[in-house]
Amino acid sequence: MNNQAVLVLRLAAPMQSWGGPSRYNRRDTLPQPTKSGILGLLSAAEGRAREASLTDLLGLHLGVRVDQPGTLLRDYHTVSDHRGLPLPSAKVDAKGVQKKTSPAKYTGVTQRYYLQDAIFTAALRGPAPLLEGLEHAVRHPVFPLSLGRRSCPPTGPLSLGLRPDAELHDVLTDVPWQASPHHRRRIHTAQVMLEATVEDPAGDLLVDDVPDTYDLKTGTAFGRRAVRHLWVTIPSGHETTTDDDPAADPTNPGHDPFALLGW
């Protein structure tokens, strides 16, 4: 008896940031949600402590579809001590106390990157009892939820519900297009082709976004997983004819070199 299921999430917000292993003064974002970020969201929903084990979550297989790619935003940050004191350096003295910067540095600069106006559909495949609990937690979260960083709360309901067990590719092809109305108005064809990434042991690409812990004392080390990229074609919700639908024209190769850029 197959006791597997698929949990589908809609990840939408004015800003998202999926940084993965980026650290220090430059915090990048990847163009799609990371497994680390999504598992962190689910852990917060359940109310797990940061040092709690993630063993049961790591086995979930993840698929992500780009419903609306959004645009990249660079946020320029400055940091200073409100008392007017020099900033601490990375060095410590014999007692383990951080030294002050020398020569004194009163302002630090950081750069943080975000995806603005992006929407993704995420599908997690795994044991049905586990996903049932996670789906309930997402609808009734213990801690506030965010999409990558605390400054990025989601808009609208996160859960699109549980589905019977199916391949991630099939689920991402079946879920209706989640793009916003203003983005939909830019599409005039009956179908839309969307980029997707699915976790697959036979995948041809390795990504470093599998967390071992969220414990702040030890820090997070990222493991690898294999994924593959693909395109899924789903209804756009628009009615059209063969004359203005390139996908319906048998002479059209169906290849758009600028589709990956969101054009």
Q: How many angstroms separate the Cα of 66 from the Cα of each of 58, 87, 173?
A: 22, 41, 12
One-letter amino acid at 11 equals L
The residue that leads in pLDDT, 60 or 104, is 60
Element (H, E) at 101: none
Query: How does pLDDT run across 80-112, given as a tens digit for each residue?
Result: 888 888 888 877 788 778 888 888 888 888 888
Question: Token pair of 227, please?
Answer: 């994924």
Domains and CATH numbers, the chain: 4-72+114-261 (3.30.70.2660)
User: What pLDDT was estimated at residue 167?
Assistant: 96
What percentage of the chain reaches a pLDDT higher than 90?
A: 63
Query: The dihedral of CA 88, 93, 96, 97: what is its sign?
Result: negative
Distance of CA 50 to the CA centre of its chain: 19
* 211-241: pLDDT as tens digits: 999 988 888 888 999 999 999 999 998 765 4
- pTM of the predicted model over 0.85: no
Rounded CA separation 151/147 (Å): 8
- Per DSSP, the three-state class of 138 is helix
